[in-house]
Amino acid sequence: MIKEGGMMLKYEDAKDIILNCFNEVKAKSINVIKSFNYVLAEDIVTIRDYPDTKKSAVDGFAIKGLDRNSYRIVNTFSPGMQVDINLGKGEAVFVMTGAVVPENADAVVRVEDCVIDGDIVTINCNLTNGMNINNIGEEVGINQHVVTKGVLINERIFPILCYLGLKEVKVYEKPKVGIFTTGNEILELGEDYRKGFVYNTNRYIAECFLKKLEIPYEYYGNIIDDENSVFNAFAEMTEKYDIIISSGGISMGKYDFVKKVLNDKKFDIVVNKTKIKPGSPLLVARNNNCMIFGMPGYPAAFFTNFVLYLLPFIKKACGFRDFENKIVDVILKDYMHSRKSSDYFNRATIKYENGNFLAYGVGSQKTSHFINFAKVNGFVRIKEGVGDLKAGDKCEGLIFNFESIL
């Protein structure tokens, strides 16, 4: 157990310890219809050719023989019809877009390029072999690997599973998350404001990230600053959840009971404080198969820790292959403050302009300030020992909301 006074962990070391605490993710088979927003737990391989018959790419006439311009129409086929005829030389069939064309057809001619007179069709364009025919396996052949496991079944992947006609798919089970906040001064939304109180923000920071990933969670409530209540919350929740997120009560205050309970009771502390700003007082503990994240109370510190440590952990627990945050090289557009004693994660607006990621400051970096997070889509990481940076300097940027850049 790492107790107070132990070595504060560097960011990467803490992240590695947290990510390594991780139990194997279980997979289950579910109906494809229910698989949206799960992470795929198997590679997807085609079980047939696409298409698996020759098909017409246009509404037109499938013809046999390219040495003439008039053909006798012998049939009409629309998509889905079984086509088991072969054409004789000089014969044509009217085929709709997507219809199967006879195996031995040489080409399909668009209806606009034809003149129809009774059962004779005359062609008004140049003919080339195979024109307007989609051939067997031309999109993807049988036994081809088309989607790799570990990706989110999102609006790109889900339609592919439908296109392939899969019924069941293997996905990773999602972790069950429990959240609670602490503090006598916390008001829930909708409660009348009382001077000196704060509205519960951290609950919703957690909920927003979890909702976006469609991870099931329960909010246990706000626990008053009382040791037994905090202990009972942890004891009850470790039975029910894979991940517990608590907020507040982990610094040096008289009523910081989260820290006291996690340190004094049977929980196995794996991280106690990390050398970052904001949000150094992070406590991560394990209890059997449950991971407990005792997060700092200030919303700016809670948010930063969520992005740096919890998000990669949760994504790994969901089975994501790419669970780490996106790191880019940024050029600073504004001065950024740091102290050499820690890694400073300066909140920033990161934009992509003329081939470079540019990081703009958003004003205050005080942990007790939060409102400017409205402009934040990433952090500029000024590493320990570096000191302040000025406009034009290069640095490492971490983007947690890539959509905001595009």
Interacting residue ranges for ligand MOO, rule: CB under 6 A? 277-280, 296, 298, 301, 367
Cβ neighbors of 341 (< 8 A, separation 6 or more) are 275, 384
Nearest CB to ligand MOO, comparing residues 278 and 319: 278
Length of the chain: 406
Tell the smallest beta-carbon distance from residue 273 to ligand LQZAQKY5 (Å): 8
Q: Which of 179, 181, 177, 178 is nearest to 247 (CA)?
A: 181
Residue 146 binds what, of ligand LQZAQKY5, ligand MOO, none (CB under 5 to 8 Å, by partner type)?
Answer: none
One residue of 101, 245, 285, 301 binding ligand LQZAQKY5 per CB under 6 A: 301
Amino acid at 131: M
397 makes contact, choosing from ligand LQZAQKY5, ligand MOO, none, with CB < 5 to 8 Å by partner type, with none
First CA to last CA across the chain, in angstroms? 44
Pick one of ligand MOO, ligand LQZAQKY5, none as the site partner of residue 299 (Cβ within 5 to 8 A by kind): ligand LQZAQKY5
Interaction residues for ligand LQZAQKY5, span 355-394 (CB under 6 A) = 367
CB 362 within 8 A of CB 370: no
Establish how many alpha carbons lie within 13 A of residue 53's alpha carbon, considering only the half-sphere containing its beta carbon: 16
Instruction: Map the footprint of ligand LQZAQKY5 across residues 254-293, applying CB under 6 A.
Output: 256, 279-281
Could you tell me which stretch among 20-28, 146-154, 162-170, 295-303 binds ligand LQZAQKY5 (CB under 6 A)?
295-303
Q: Which C-beta is closer to ligand LQZAQKY5: that of 238 or that of 272?
A: 272
- Return the bridge partners of 171, or none: 28, 40
CA angle (269 as vertex; 338, 314 as ends), nearest 5: 70
Determine, following the binding rule CB under 6 A, whether residue 209 of this chain makes contact with ligand LQZAQKY5.
no
DSSP class per residue in 284-312: EEEETTEEEEEE-SSHHHHHHHIIIIIHH
Instruction: Tell me: cis bond preceding 51? Omega within 30 of 0 counts.
Output: yes
Output the smallest distance, CB 369 to ligand LQZAQKY5, in A.
11
Amino acid at 311: L
Task: Please give the residue whose beta carbon sits closest to ligand LQZAQKY5 in the complex.
Answer: 297
Considering the complex, state which of residue 246 and residue 287 has its C-beta at the smaller distance from ligand MOO: 246
- Beta carbons of 277 and 298 less than 8 angstroms apart: no
Query: What residues make contact with ligand LQZAQKY5 under the rule CB under 6 A?
Result: 181, 183, 185-186, 198, 200-203, 247-253, 256, 279-281, 296-299, 301, 367
